[in-house]
A and B are shown apart, each in its own frame.
Chain A
């Protein structure tokens, strides 16, 4: 669950980063990428918290890779592009972590054997 919390925090950072790292023009496409990615990541991360919907985190993984590529291609000024690249890589790393990573997978638990000898 902690990975999803960090993803939502990173989504918040993406949402405010146009104000922290502004472009010369208010209509620069980087702003659209920042806001869209923030909304998508927050949505995917929250959906992934629903039981048996953990696979939604792969959406966050895809968005992370997407904005990392956008940053690598130099979308925006240098600081903005580096922000996209580093946040994208971070998101991709967190998105790999399953929501219930701290527990043994459910399929192993279902075969759990509680045995006491007589």
Chain B
């Protein structure tokens, strides 16, 4: 009888019934992030005046008002880039950090999962703030901006399971082995406590 190896790709990771670092879980995130990147690049092209107007089948010319609005100009003066270009970089970051790492990265490279979470979750929050600003301050709506904000929220929902598993692993290592082993685990180094927590979370022997 073959005993399942404890780093088996297919092993479900507690508290989920699947491996949140599996490709089937991460590829849809990367595809969505890719779509959001392309949309943001389109909006940035307008802000760079490389195209005449942004595509908007719903609100028409309101998109241009949003992209040329005062909050957008203020952000541009701070970051020295159009806000849509910064958004494109951030979504590209989601894609890059989503693609990087193996299907065991929730314990093999926790720092990468945390970095991925930091890129995805605050980005979603910023998108929501920008959508609120559209309605309240600018008084106009931008269809593609709303689409990217929706994608950001979906990305948060899709990415949170992997980040949760990773945090649960790190917390488990902290409880069993203390701060020093937790730091080692965060850096992706194996520890006795880490191995025990992985076995416990995957239910493997």
**Residues of A at under 8 Å CB distance from B?**
2-3, 71-72, 74, 81-82, 85-86, 89-90, 93-94, 96-98, 101-105, 107-108, 111-117
Closest to A72 in B: B80
Q: With A82-B80, A113-B6 as given contacts, are A104 and B104 in contact (CB-CB < 8 Å)?
A: yes
Residues on A with beta carbons closer than 8 Å to the beta carbon of B102: 101-104
Check A94–B5 contact: CB distance below 8 A. Answer: no
Residues on B with beta carbons closer than 8 Å to the beta carbon of A117: 1-3
Q: What is the distance, in angstroms, from A75's C-beta to the closest C-beta of chain B? A: 11
Residues on B with beta carbons closer than 8 Å to the beta carbon of A2: 99
Check A101–B115 contact: CB distance below 8 A. Answer: no
Of B7, B92, B188, the residue contacting A90 (CB under 8 A) is B92
Residues on A with beta carbons closer than 8 Å to the beta carbon of B1: 117
Report B61-95 CB contacts with A as 1/0, cut-off 8 Å.
00000000000000000011100010001001100
Residues on A with beta carbons closer than 8 Å to the beta carbon of B104: 104, 108
Q: Does B124 contact A (CB under 8 A)?
A: no
The 5 closest A-B pairs by CB, nearest first: A97-B100, A101-B100, A104-B108, A105-B188, A108-B190
Check B80–A93 contact: CB distance below 8 A. Answer: no
Check A81–B80 contact: CB distance below 8 A. Answer: yes
Check A86–B101 contact: CB distance below 8 A. Answer: no
Q: Does B168 contact A (CB under 8 A)?
A: no
Closest to B188 in A: A105
Q: Which of A2, A86, A101, A104 counts the most chain B CB atoms within 10 A?
A: A104
Closest to B108 in A: A104
Report the bound CA distance from A107 to B195 in whole Å. 12
Of B96, B100, B190, the residue contacting A111 (CB under 8 A) is B190
Closest to B89 in A: A89
Check A85–B108 contact: CB distance below 8 A. Answer: no
Check A96–B92 contact: CB distance below 8 A. Answer: no
